[in-house]
């Protein structure tokens, strides 16, 4: 019986070398991570390489700003203040007053050929018939209207006047955050690429549709998770 089984295994069956298969899979994963650049199809709006759930800077990139817990320098934004009203939102930077813009001048390292910006805009409460505008160096690049809490958000209006700017956006929510007070929250995430020979860029965030004659105060909004990366060598024409 044993001899018969041995002959069967030897002629009609091949043992699977699982260790070899795992080695091959790991080698392919490392190879793909080394050759695939994690840019968007719209011009590369993200920095570095995607390695699993993390993102690593490339050799030509420099981290300029990293603010997952709010601005290190409270004076970095013109306007606004740290969040002390809504504990569930964490360390967002609130627009205060909410009907006024937030502006940030971002200084880049010498020789930067491109700046990559990533951040979230957080709107709270009823934003039906309202929205936010994003501009770079005084030029609007995106106008995003929002719907009511029980509606899907309208599509964004993307400005195409400046070829040196590429962006992509996505909205999550609305979702309820427990209070006090309870809040309906939507997040607009933005990745923006700015090809620039300048030493600094100016980011302006401004509310839309908040002029109601004072009868209806503007709802709250904030900026969160700002990351800025500078890319050094110039790109070929």
11 lies in some domain:
yes
Residue 108 falls within a domain, yes or no? yes
Q: Specify the number of domains making up the chain.
A: 2
Q: Are residues 209 and 120 in the same domain?
A: yes
Q: How many residues does the chain have?
A: 237
Residue 160: give its domain's CATH number. 2.60.120
Query: pLDDT tens across 12-66, in order?
Result: 444 556 565 554 455 444 333 333 223 333 445 454 444 444 567 888 889 999 9
Q: Are residues 152 and 207 in the same domain?
A: yes
> Rounded to an integer, what distance in angstroms lies between the CA atom of residue 195 and that of residue 39?
14
Identify whether 44 is part of a domain. Answer: no
DSSP 3-state of 103? strand
Domain hosting 157: range is: 49-231
Give the up-direction half-sphere exposure of residue 3: CA atoms within 13 A in the CB hemisphere: 0
- Report residues of the chain scoring pLDDT below 50: 1-14, 23-24, 27-43, 45, 47-53, 237
212 and 156 assigned to the same domain:
yes
Considering the domain architecture, whether residues 157 and 208 belong to the same structural domain is answered as yes
Same domain, residue pair 27 and 112: no
Is residue 24 domain-shared with residue 126, that is, in the same domain?
no
Same domain, 116 and 200: yes
Q: Identify the pLDDT of residue 19.
A: 61
Same domain? For 29 and 62 the reply is: no
Do the Cβ atoms of 203 and 118 come closer than 8 Å?
no
Could you tell me if 123 and 19 lie in one domain?
Answer: no
Residue 204 and residue 129 in one domain: yes
Is residue 237 domain-resident? no
């Amino acid at each position: 019986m044993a001899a018969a089984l041995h002959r069967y295994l030897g002629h009609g069956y091949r043992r699977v070398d699982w260790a070899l298969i795992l080695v091959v899979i790991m080698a392919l994963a490392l190879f793909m991570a080394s050759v695939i650049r994690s840019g968007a199809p719209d011009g590369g709006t993200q920095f570095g390489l995607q390695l699993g759930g993390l993102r690593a800077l490339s050799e030509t990139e420099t981290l300029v700003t990293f603010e997952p817990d709010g601005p290190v320098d409270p004076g970095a934004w013109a306007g606004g203040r740290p969040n002390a009203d809504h504990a569930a939102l964490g360390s967002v930077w609130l627009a205060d007053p909410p009907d006024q813009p937030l502006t940030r001048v971002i200084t880049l390292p010498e020789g930067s050929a491109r700046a990559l910006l990533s951040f979230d805009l957080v709107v709270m409460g009823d934003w039906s018939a309202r929205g936010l505008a994003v501009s770079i160096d005084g030029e609007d690049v995106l106008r995003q209207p929002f719907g009511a809490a029980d509606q899907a958000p309208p599509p964004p209006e993307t400005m195409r006047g400046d070829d040196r700017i590429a962006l992509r956006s996505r909205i999550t929510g609305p979702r309820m955050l427990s209070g006090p007070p309870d809040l309906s929250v939507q997040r607009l995430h933005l990745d923006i690429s700015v090809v620039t020979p300048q030493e600094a860029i100016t980011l302006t965030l401004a509310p839309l549709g908040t002029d109601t004659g004072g009868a209806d105060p503007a709802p709250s909004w904030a900026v969160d998770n700002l990351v800025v990366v500078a890319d050094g060598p110039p790109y070929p024409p």
